[in-house]
Amino acid sequence: MNVHYEWVVEELDDHDDIIECHYWDTPSEAAKLRDELQAEGKRVDFGVCRRVGDNIDGEVDRQYAYLTVEGWPDAFEYGAAIPKYIRAQMDRIQSEVGA
């Protein structure tokens, strides 16, 4: 099974329902879109998506970790560990853009 990580920006409505998801390979691209949407007055969530799968079984697991006012979580939402290189990117982008 392959593990792939993507940065995600989710546009939200007034009820916190997701209107649209945007996935990026780099945190800087995702942060730029997050900033643009927020400047337009839109509500957004910003995070990292972890996908596990292969060409035979397809996607078998998907978990998210979102940046909050408290910072990044210690693990993905269902307990998968955050690799050190992803954690370093998370910390760097948080210092650049804030929560």
Over 90: is that where the pLDDT of 97 sits? no
pLDDT in tens, 64-92: 999 998 999 999 999 999 999 999 999 99
Radius of gyration in angstroms for the set of CA atoms belonging to the chain, rounded to a whole number:
14
Query: For residue 98, what pLDDT is reported?
Result: 65
Query: For residue 10, what pLDDT is reported?
Result: 97
Task: Check if the beta carbon of residue 6 is closer than 8 Å to that of residue 21.
Answer: no
DSSP-assigned letter for residue 54: E
Query: For residue 94, what pLDDT is reported?
Result: 86
Over 70: is that where the pLDDT of 26 sits? yes
Task: Check if the beta carbon of residue 74 is closer than 8 Å to that of residue 59.
Answer: no
Query: For residue 96, what pLDDT is reported?
Result: 78
Over 90: is that where the pLDDT of 35 sits? yes
